Amino acid sequence: MAAVFTCCLGCCGDGGPGHAPLKEMPTVHLDTHHMGTDVVIVKSGRRICGTGACLANAPLHQNKSYFEFKIQSTGIWGIGVATQKVNLNQVPLGRDSHSLVLRHDGSIYHNNEEKNRLPANSLPQEGDVVGLTYDHVELNLYLNGKNMHCPASGIRGTVFPVVYVDDSAIIDCQFSDFYHTPPEGFEKILFEQQIF
């Protein structure tokens, strides 16, 4: 038994020869390399304020992704998915084929066309959490854990979570440790190396 304990200490206890440190898995957060020029990102890449849009640092490669946004301060804002070709300085998003977003007024836009709308009595307010699911076909929305039954589709290509703000809006992004349980079959965003 002592020989096994000594071997264990010699192999991994002191990081000596043969020791391979574990690679820390990356975390999903807002990507300061893919944001508008007047955007401010704080709280370790989880809060956006200022004016403009920002993509997350992980594309949605897996079949069923879930992520959340919390409205900390109202104003003009939008949340959804976008390709890296989207203009992050031009808000609101949803004006072209590179973004599919829920806007603060409850409309869901893609390619300058309203694709759907939240029920009139379900507009997100300050303090509300909006969950999004995406399965490479359809974007679905959840308000404080409740399915809003207003799917939207149309965007093509590799997409990333996107959020934009203007007029004093502040939005927090939650890519893990969710406020609400994801719908069945959906999970947090995984980096490509975590999927395979």
Mean pLDDT, rounded, for 90-112 = 98
Task: For 109-167, write each residue's pLDDT tens digit.
Answer: 999 999 999 998 999 999 999 999 999 999 999 999 999 999 999 999 999 999 999 99
pLDDT at site 16: 56
3-state SS, residue 62? coil
What are the domain boundaries of the chain?
30-174
Choose among 165, 195, 155: nearest CA to 25. Answer: 195
d(CA 33, CA 39): 11
Q: 77, 84 in Cβ contact below 8 A? A: no
The helix (run of H) or strand (run of E) holding residue 143 is: strand 138-143
Average model confidence (pLDDT) for the chain?
90
pLDDT at site 26: 85
CATH superfamily of this structure's domain 30-174: SPRY domain (2.60.120.920)
Tokens 């304020």 sit at which residue?
49
pLDDT at site 25: 74
Mean pLDDT, rounded, for 63-80 = 98
pLDDT at site 107: 98
E-assigned strand segments in 29-117: 30-35, 38-42, 47-56, 65-73, 76-82, 99-103, 107-110, 113-117
Task: For 7-46, write each residue's pLDDT tens digit.
Answer: 444 444 455 566 555 567 789 999 999 999 999 999 999 9
